[in-house]
């Protein structure tokens, strides 16, 4: 059996926090080992949902931009996280420009579009939320 990356990171982080860091001299090295363990725990949380989150964000941004009349191009050809990240960055830049434009106007259509953008940002932040474990 090949362990999934999130399982490996959680096991390694547990070893760092419970066995290695406590046996190091207090100070920089002990703090660094503990910090590394916490980053591994957070990365493990992201691992399982990374593609799904980015695909959702890209679809939602693409929809908002298209409804506002902007050209959005074709979706990413693959579901690899690097490809989704590339598409995500391009769409996010366009969404920022759209948001700036919408904020500069005061029409009823602009207010509805701004509310939709803000709803997207709120949901996106919730989907990317990470939780620190209670130790």
**Every domain of the chain and the residues it spans:** 5-47, 50-127
| Residue 133 confidence (pLDDT) | 82
| Residue 107 confidence (pLDDT) | 77
Rounded average pLDDT over 80-88: 96
pLDDT at 116 over 90: yes
* Contact predicate 66/94, CB 8 Å: no
| Residue 19 confidence (pLDDT) | 96
| Residue 32 confidence (pLDDT) | 96
pLDDT at 18 over 80: yes
Tell me the percentage of the chain whose pLDDT exceeds 90. Answer: 80
Rounded average pLDDT over 43-71: 95
| Residue 22 confidence (pLDDT) | 95
pLDDT at 108 over 80: no
| Residue 110 confidence (pLDDT) | 85
Rounded average pLDDT over 65-91: 93
pLDDT at 132 over 80: yes
The string of DSSP codes covering the chain is -PPPHHHHHHHHHHHIIIIIGGGSPTTHHHHHHHHHHHHHHHHHHHHTTHHHHHHHHHHHHHHHHHHTT----PPPSS--HHHHHHHHHHHHHHHHHHHHHHHH---HHHHHHHHHHHHHHHHHHHHT---PPP-
The overall average pLDDT reported for the chain is 93
């Amino acid at each position: 059996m090949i362990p999934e990356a999130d399982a490996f990171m959680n096991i390694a982080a547990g070893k760092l926090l419970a066995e290695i860091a406590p046996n190091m001299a207090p100070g920089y090295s002990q703090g660094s080992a503990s910090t590394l363990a916490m980053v591994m725990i957070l990365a493990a949380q992201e691992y399982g949902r990374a593609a799904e989150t980015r695909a959702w964000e890209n679809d939602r941004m693409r929809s908002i931009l298209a409804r506002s009349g902007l050209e959005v191009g074709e979706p990413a050809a693959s579901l690899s996280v690097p490809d989704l990240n590339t598409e995500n960055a391009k769409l996010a830049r366009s969404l920022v420009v759209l948001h700036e434009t919408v904020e500069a106007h005061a029409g009823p259509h602009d207010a509805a579009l701004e509310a939709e953008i803000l709803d997207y940002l709120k949901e996106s932040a919730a989907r990317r939320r990470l939780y620190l474990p209670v130790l």
